[in-house]
Amino acid sequence: MSDAEESPLGETEEDGETEMEEEEEENPNYYAEVESMQQESKEDDTVAWRDSQEEGEEKEKKEEAVREETVEKAGTAQEEVAAEVQEETTVKPQDITETVGTLERLSLTDPQSVMSETSPKTHGGGELKHSLPSELSSSLSSQIEFLDLELTSFEEQQMSSPESQSSRELGDDTDRVPQDELGQERRDLEPGKGETRQEKRVSYLAEEKEVQPEADIPKDSLVSTTTEDILFQKDESASVCPLTMTWSFGWNSSLPVYYIRDTNQRVLLYASAHTAVIYDVFKNSQHHLQGHPNVISCFCISEDRRWIATADKGPNCLIIIWDSFTGIPVHTIFDSCPEGNGIRTIAISRDAKYLATISDAEMQKVCIWRWTLAVETPACTLDLPKEYGFQNYLTFNPTNNKELVSNSKTQAIYYLWYEEGDILTHSAPLLTEKTFNKLVGKFSQSVFHLNLTQMLSATMEGKLVVWDVDRPPPSAPTSLGLPYIRPCKLVHLQKESISVLTTVDSYIVTGDAKGHIKFYDHTLSIIHWYSHFKLSSIRCLSFSKTPATPPTENSNYPPDCTLKGDPFVIRNLVIGTSDATVYHLTTDGTKLEKLLVEPKDAIYAISCHPYQPLIAIGSFCGMIKVWDYERKKYLFSRVFEKGLGVQSLTYNPEGAFLGAGFTEGTVYILDAMSLENEIPEPFKYSTTSVTHISFSHDSQYMATADVSFTVAVYKVKVKSGKRVWEYLARLRSHRKSIQSLLFGMHLDSSEPRLLSLGRDKLLIEYSLLKSYRDHLEVLDIHRTDQGSYPTCMIWYPPLIKERFLIISNSNYKVKLFNSTTKMCRKTLLGPVYGSPIEQIQILPVKTTVELQKRYLVFINTDKVGLQILPIDGNPHKTAAIICHPNGVAGLALAYDGHYAFTAGGPDRSVLQWEINLSALEAAVSLGGEDLTPFYALVSGGREGKFYRELEDYFYYSQLRSQGIDTMETRKVSEHICLSELPFVMRAIGFYPSEEKIEDMFNEIRFSEYVDTGEIIDKINLPDFLKIYLNHRPPFGNTMHSIQKSFDILGYTNSKGKKVIQREDFLKLLLTRGEHMTEDEMSDCFASLLGLNPEGWKSEPAASSVKGSEVCYEEELPDEITAEIFATDILGFTISPDSRQDPTVSEVIRNV
């Protein structure tokens, strides 16, 4: 110890006191009465159990003789269960195991339970009670029921096909009672989805009377019989999911870390993105608790370290309670916040019977949950006024689970729960500087004092506010007096801000902004402190479950601060700091060990080594860490000076260099194995963040792109026999952000080529050979899209003769461009999982056999997925899983294609995903062959009305092409000529632009050109269906897209609506976009307004009015809104789609 301090009581700031007096309990008999009531409750439970057992024995005597044999076989098990139930008359934390044993059967879902928009559902119709007579006779039945339940894995529930994803929502019922092998009678007794838990239990009791249990089935549920070691037992079973999370790098240092195992092991619990991680330090193994659709916002653990409660905030937020021994979610609370704001803070009582939560809404709500009863609604709630501030910390009274305390930065609140009437009362006196005539400071955390009659609130000024708790007598009715707290003292403990306040054994413990940890007794006299570790600000302190061993001759406990200097004996603890470091402190010997050293800021940069199992991770805090991802071992790191945040990382193809781009524009080239500089000085040619780094295949060129839309090129030159990197040139070539920067090779040589793709829809190729110092030559520029913008590009693997670029766009389309001519050769429907693809990479292969079948990995806003090549629009060829709910920032692939890595950006985590291609192939085979997957994409399928209508239009187009009025013999064919394709498309409700029509023509014309040299000029119905499905808008024509155009082109009128003047509207049609001639526009309006009821000028015999005769002043209003344009002019009907946001309506044809 160092810098000895005086007792803080000497600094008490009220009335010049030099010592804080111990407060007398205002109701000394309060806790004695509570204890007496608890004992009476225990006795009542025992009597009830005995009565119920006698009733059970009477029922047994009345059993039929045929069933005596069954009773004899089950007798032993019943006696064991009865003994267990009898022990439950005393409520202890571990007693909840028995309650959960039954609960687990119906809420059991493998820890990974959320994909895209689905998650497990737990029903809570009836309350589970201890010592029911029927449960004694049915314990075997309930145990068999649990074991017969199909353990559906998380990835199976998470994997979803894109066509079903849009209609699925979080919270859909995914509990399933599978058909087992115990006979058809069991199937008949299987409860329906609408039944409650109690009904399900009765059903299984009835069935047990008929069916004998199998001899080899264990008698107890996994939750009630497990030991601590089962969590990290190796699971040798093969994964049935295309993507399985195997490791999480990084942790959310804004949340606490808990010390949950300490006997012959060292196990931590912390949060990483939407996953809670149980990490065994000695085994270097992780177990992931997955089930949340959003990033975990808070979590807590019971006193016995058995039960973990996690909560998130966001749409469809969940509260999940887990068994830490097995990793099984024993209960899930849905709709805990109907407003969708989620949970801000959570606490669990010392006996683990109750949960308390405070919502994250503007108007916060306090809820208490009886989670062991499997209920879906809180026992009581309390709305907090806005004046109380944003409550961000909550804890129970460790000696009374009906009392809680919470605090915001400005106000502490005391709660008392009257369980009889489920009333939650509170007291929140306003504390100002005038209260003590001293500066109080902002609150950080609050706890109950060890003397049980007071509360303590720590402040950022290093002070403690002491509150007296005045409780009414337990026998007094609620109306006669409510509990309240009042501030009685302000104790100035220290100069540093107190960030953590907790209690352990007989000590009050604080952690402060300077990394000091201090221990005080109940009089707030300092007993011991740790200040020599030089830690950063303390974020959390978690003490071991096991008490400290008494001192012996071999012990090395430090002395305390008393005059006697006795050994300071305290439990071992885990320390979490603000710089995302986790330490373990062994108090016997004062040994501090680092357990985790992770980035404390957002992670946007990751890159995998090209031929070794290494991954480099870069953070905004300036740290680059390199891991061996196969051994899960940290290798080396480098921390750059303050202000240098790592934005991008890329290994060169040889694996010798690591290019690093930083947030302030600097570019480093580092040695891949030491992270030392390879260049004397970093390149500083940009003033904005470097978002992309790319190396040529021969490592002779390096290109970067930055936020200011600029591409820079660097080149290797040999000087004095050494390779030296030099700056070549840079060019501001785009008007909007650069989405991709890609090197390639020319077809006729091994010379590198460089391309960039921008959000301005431009694909630009640069001539490296013609470029020289300060001049970057542009070879050609092509526009890739018309309405949507491109998101990323990659080279298509050489599966066919033609060389393609894959470009994905914001309209969920994947386009293949000829690498030489830049012609769009194919447009295909990409993965549709809530948001467009943002990055794609081709999965590497190591053998020639694997070259015959290739795959790509993609990420969108919050998911990572797999796609089987070649892309053809088949939705079953893709699979995706939620990886970072707050946004995916980066993607990297292992050199052997076995793993994918995703960076979470602001969630400060990198997740490792094991890839199982056989599972994806199995899904494809189940989806059907040929056109079967495509029929499912149209309304009604193959036999539906839409497809029948499509067939009619397809064959009607043959009549059109041969002439409507001809008297010659008709020729019926399986094909139509290409000139008829746009008319059939428009007839079935797809209205492509002229550019899209040209893309369709090129796709069909050159489909066989590389193989046969022939140009195709006709198309059959199956190919037409594929063209239609791949080119049409993925969600149909929406009112949202029309309104967006009017928002851009129009102005706001006096009624507040976006409108376009009639004259401007006609002028836009003639001059902007794919402008029309006056004759074309007149003919269009003549048909749209009903002046040519039979069609457009393509059928001249049906025309009755010439376009020039249209009077626009009479037919069109002065101001045209989006609704008028869609309904009155185009003749559509606006129909709200319940599956989408109400502001987005689907525009359907008015037939």
pLDDT of residue 773: 94
- Give mean pLDDT, residues 991-1020: 90
The mean pLDDT value of the chain amounts to 80
For the chain, the helix, strand and coil percentages under 3-state DSSP, each to the nearest 5 = 25, 35, 45
Helix axis angle for 68-87 and 30-61, nearest 10°, is 180
Distance (Å, rounded) from C-alpha 403 to C-alpha 425? 10
- Give mean pLDDT, residues 168-180: 37
Q: Would you give the distance in Å from CA 14 to the centre of its chain?
A: 50
Find, among 765, 801, 799, 800, the residue nearest to 784 by Cα: 765
Higher-confidence position of 159 and 246? 246
pLDDT of residue 1087: 81
pLDDT of residue 374: 80
- 979: pLDDT strictly greater than 70: yes
Biggest distance spanned by C-alpha atoms of the chain: 120
- Give mean pLDDT, residues 646-667: 95
Lowest-confidence range among 226-230, 258-262, 630-634, 743-747?
Answer: 226-230
952-to-686, 940, 974, 1091 alpha-carbon distances in Å: 60, 16, 12, 25
Partnered with residue 380 across adjacent β-strands are 368
pLDDT digits over 1067-1076, tens only? 998 888 888 8
Tokens 């797809």 identify what position?
Answer: 990
- 862: pLDDT strictly greater than 60: yes
pLDDT of residue 397: 94
Distance (Å, rounded) from C-alpha 297 to C-alpha 342? 8
Q: Would you give the distance in Å from CA 308 to the centre of its chain?
A: 19
- Give mean pLDDT, residues 860-876: 93
Q: What is the DSSP letter of 722?
A: E
- 694: pLDDT strictly greater than 70: yes
pLDDT range class, residue 1011, cuts 50, 70, 90: confident
Tell me the CB-side half-sphere exposure of residue 33, using CA atoms within 13 A. Answer: 9
CATH of 932-964+971-1031, one of 3.40.50.2000, 1.10.150.120, 1.10.238.10, 3.40.50.300: 1.10.238.10
Question: Are the C-beta atoms of residues 500 and 511 closer than 8 Å to each other?
Answer: yes
- Give mean pLDDT, residues 1107-1125: 81
Distance (Å, rounded) from C-alpha 332 to C-alpha 338? 15
pLDDT digits over 274-293, tens only? 999 999 999 999 999 999 99
Distance (Å, rounded) from C-alpha 741 to C-alpha 756? 5
pLDDT of residue 295: 94
- 631: pLDDT strictly greater than 90: yes
- 762: pLDDT strictly greater than 80: yes
pLDDT of residue 465: 94
With a CB cutoff of 8 Å and minimum separation 6, the contacts of 273 are 248, 252, 295, 296, 883, 884, 885, 886, 904, 907, 909, 911
Q: Print the SS3 string covering 438-497.
A: CCCCCEEEEEECCCCCEEEEEECCCEEEEEEEECCCCCCCHHHCCCEEEEEEEEECCCCC
pLDDT range class, residue 545, cuts 50, 70, 90: very high
- 47: pLDDT strictly greater than 80: no
- 128: pLDDT strictly greater than 70: no
Distance (Å, rounded) from C-alpha 246 to C-alpha 1103? 67
Q: Tokens in use for 93?
A: 């934390």
pLDDT of residue 568: 92
- 519: pLDDT strictly greater than 70: yes
- Any idea where the domains of the chain sit in the sequence? 932-964+971-1031, 1039-1094+1107-1145
Higher-confidence position of 87 and 992? 992
- Give mean pLDDT, residues 855-880: 94
Q: What is the DSSP letter of 844?
A: P
Lowest-confidence range among 189-203, 274-288, 361-375?
Answer: 189-203
Lowest-confidence range among 304-308, 398-402, 432-436, 1140-1144?
Answer: 1140-1144
Find, among 1046, 1042, 1045, 1043, the residue nearest to 1059 by Cα: 1046
- Give mean pLDDT, residues 1108-1133: 83
pLDDT range class, residue 219, cuts 50, 70, 90: low
pLDDT digits over 371-389, tens only? 999 888 999 999 999 999 9
Question: Are the C-beta atoms of residues 276 and 308 closer than 8 Å to each other?
Answer: yes
pLDDT digits over 593-620, tens only? 999 999 999 999 999 999 999 999 999 9
DSSP SS3 for 628: strand
Question: Are the C-beta atoms of residues 267 and 261 closer than 8 Å to each other?
Answer: yes
Query: Percentage of the chain surpassing pLDDT 90?
Result: 53
Question: Are the C-beta atoms of residues 463 and 520 closer than 8 Å to each other?
Answer: no
Query: Percentage of the chain surpassing pLDDT 70?
Result: 76
Lowest-confidence range among 176-180, 665-669, 1051-1055?
Answer: 176-180
pLDDT of residue 757: 97
pLDDT range class, residue 122, cuts 50, 70, 90: very low
Lowest-confidence range among 237-251, 666-680, 715-729, 964-978?
Answer: 964-978
Question: Are the C-beta atoms of residues 538 and 580 closer than 8 Å to each other?
Answer: no
pLDDT digits over 471-485, tens only? 877 666 555 568 889
Q: Print the SS3 string covering 5-49.
A: CCCHHHHCCCCCCCCCCCCCCCCCCHHHHHHHHHHHHHHHHHHHH
Distance (Å, rounded) from C-alpha 322 to C-alpha 288? 11
Best-predicted range by mean pLDDT among 30-44, 265-279, 547-561?
Answer: 265-279
- Give mean pLDDT, residues 1035-1052: 86
pLDDT digits over 874-923, tens only? 999 999 999 999 999 999 999 999 999 999 999 999 999 999 999 999 98
pLDDT range class, residue 239, cuts 50, 70, 90: confident
- 460: pLDDT strictly greater than 60: yes
- Give mean pLDDT, residues 308-312: 95
Question: Phi first, then psi: what are they for 658, rounded to 5°?
Answer: -130, 115
Distance (Å, rounded) from C-alpha 975 to C-alpha 966? 20
pLDDT digits over 80-109, tens only? 434 443 443 334 444 444 444 434 443 334
| DSSP for 192-223, written as a single string | PTTS-HHHHHHHHHHHHTT-PPPTTS-SS-HH
pLDDT range class, residue 1109, cuts 50, 70, 90: low
pLDDT of residue 955: 85
Find, among 739, 736, 684, the residue nearest to 712 by Cα: 684
pLDDT of residue 481: 66
